[in-house]
Amino acid sequence: MSTRPEIEADAQSFIERIFEHLNVAEDVRQRLACAKFSAQVSIPVRMDDGTLEVFQGWRVQYDDTRGPTKGGVRLHPKVSAAEVTDLSFWMTIKCAVVDLPFGGAKGGICVDPKRLSRLELERLSRGYIRAIHDLIGPDRDIPAPDVNSNATVMGWMADEYAQIERRQVPAVITGKPIGLGGSAGRVAATGRGALQVLQLWASREDKSPQQLRIAVQGFGNAGYHFARLAHQAGYRIVALSDSKGAIYDKAGLDPQPIWEHKNQTRELKDMVYCDESVCEQSKAERISHEELLELDVDVLVLAALEDAIDDDNAERIKAKVILEIANGPVTRKADQLLADAGVVILPDVLVNAGGVIVSHLEWVQNRTGDYWSEETVEQRLDERIGKAAEACFARAEAEQVSLRTAAYLQGVERIADAMSNQGTRTYFNARSD
């Protein structure tokens, strides 16, 4: 177990530039430079063939000044302590940007879940909760879904926590199946929130959905729901990609039948680990992942993993707008190159906040026992992310900064205010009469 790991150098540099715009105490700078708590755990799992495998997992609680920490659990073979720390930092900022009473956290297990049976995945999920049980709770740290984890996995985790506690504690985990205390509207929340931000930006620019051609990198849960809802709203989805390939049709694609075909080889569609690819859509042109990123489109949606655009390919990006549904899909250097080229970036800490907003609503419903309709949840999601987006747009315009900078200013300002209310060097050095 280790304490206070630092975020990556690029993120440190960026947050220092944010501080230049704000009059914050040195105490705030020091506290936001490192995670408050980090734990690494080993998770032994008995495999179906009788062998034992030990998987490495992490849980990082970055800052809890504004409330209990909140953040997903990522299942991926490239998960590391450094990645989880960066993700927990972004969660801290994100929760503050949309003014939720949470701090930021993140979890991860280094595993390729696609090679596990469902029984092995359940054992791993429950083993992770046994390992971090003492670190989480409704008033301390609330895990949720992330890459390769979903409602089924969250249900297993919530049940394992309940068995250890010998009582039902539904508010300890969000993103659960509705029958196990989940919230209506949670599965589509990230994609829905991202579309809401795009719609508000388009309205400010006097652009109609019919005018905008969209390419979507990453056709997982968030990318699918964004594409589905955008198609319904009248946007033209011209390209889609998943881990196995990409497809393109200038006339437009309907995401729904593509998603259904991609998942039809699995009896349980919700398990997300499908065998098929978007490339099985025979009528569309197959293109490479690189070609999708470099398409001449109006909006490029990044809904896969970090660092999709870096300094190697930034200058070949032709999209006028980038919508960041994934966390950190554009490196800091690429971000500057794109800004210099006039590309508008709608930032991740705002765009993908729909998931944590509805997770907050699920947490509230679990604690009160009063469950709301999907219409009510969607209305509250739209209101909160809409208010945050409008504030970011207005701040960017007023202060002549990028939307990413405006979002960070909004988030860091709220965190700094909370920290300052606990007392700073200036306060404690003041002499009373």
Residue 4 pLDDT grade (very low, low, confident, very high; cuts 50, 70, 90)? low
Q: b/e for 130-139, b at 16 or more Cβ within 10 A?
A: ebbeebbebe
Query: Taking a C-beta distance cutoff of 8 angstroms, is the pair 244, 277 a contact?
Result: yes
In the prediction, which pLDDT does 407 show? 97
Active site residue 333: no
> If you average pLDDT over residues 251-273, what whole number do you get?
69
Question: Over the stretch 387-405, which tens digit does the pLDDT of each residue have?
Answer: 999 999 999 999 999 999 9
Q: Where in the chain is the domain with CATH 3.40.50.10860?
A: 9-180
Contact yes or no for 419/30 (Cβ under 8 A): no
Listed range (82-86, 132-136, 281-285, 425-429) with the worst mean pLDDT: 281-285
Note whether 214 and 236 are within 8 A (CB).
yes
Q: Is the pLDDT of residue 277 over 70?
A: no
CATH 3.40.50.720, the chain: domain bounds: 189-351
Q: Is the pLDDT of residue 269 over 80?
A: no
Q: Which of 94, 106, 176, 320 is catalytic?
A: 106
Using alpha carbons only, how large is the chain's radius of gyration in Å? 21
Residue 138 phi, psi dihedral angles, 5° rounding:
-60, -25
Confidence at residue 200, expressed as pLDDT on a 0 to 100 scale: 97
Average pLDDT of span 35-44:
97
* pLDDT tens column, 165-176: 999 999 999 999
User: What's the rounded Cα separation, in Å, for the pair 19 and 193?
Assistant: 28
| pLDDT over 90 (residue 178) | yes
Q: Average pLDDT, whole number, for the chain?
A: 91
Please give the DSSP secondary-structure letter assigned to residue 5.
Answer: P
Statement: residue 282 has pLDDT above 80: no
- Which is the CATH superfamily of the domain at 189-351? NAD(P)-binding Rossmann-like Domain (3.40.50.720)
The whole-number average pLDDT for the span 217-237 is 95
Q: Which two tokens stand for residue 236?
A: 């033209």
Q: What is the CATH superfamily name and number for domain 9-180?
A: Leucine Dehydrogenase, chain A, domain 1 (3.40.50.10860)
Q: CA 238, CA 247: separation in Å to the nearest integer?
A: 8
pTM: 0.91
| Closest to 352 in 3D by CA, of 100, 104, 99, 91 | 91
Strands 285-287 vs 245-248: parallel, antiparallel or unpaired = antiparallel
Pair type for strands 103-110 and 213-217: unpaired
Percent of the chain with pLDDT over 70: 93
Range of lowest pLDDT (95-104, 297-306, 356-365): 297-306
| Phi, psi (rounded to 5 degrees) for 367 | -80, -30
Q: How far apart are CA 199 and CA 211, in angstroms?
A: 12
Residue 261: which pLDDT band, with cuts at 50, 70 and 90? confident
Q: How many CB atoms lie within 10 A of CB 426?
A: 11
pLDDT in the model for residue 267: 33
Q: How many residues does the chain have?
A: 433
The residue among 404, 382, 389 whose CA lies nearest residue 192 is 382
3-state secondary structure of 107: strand
Nearest to 270 by CA among 224, 233, 305: 224
CB 180 within 8 A of CB 155: yes
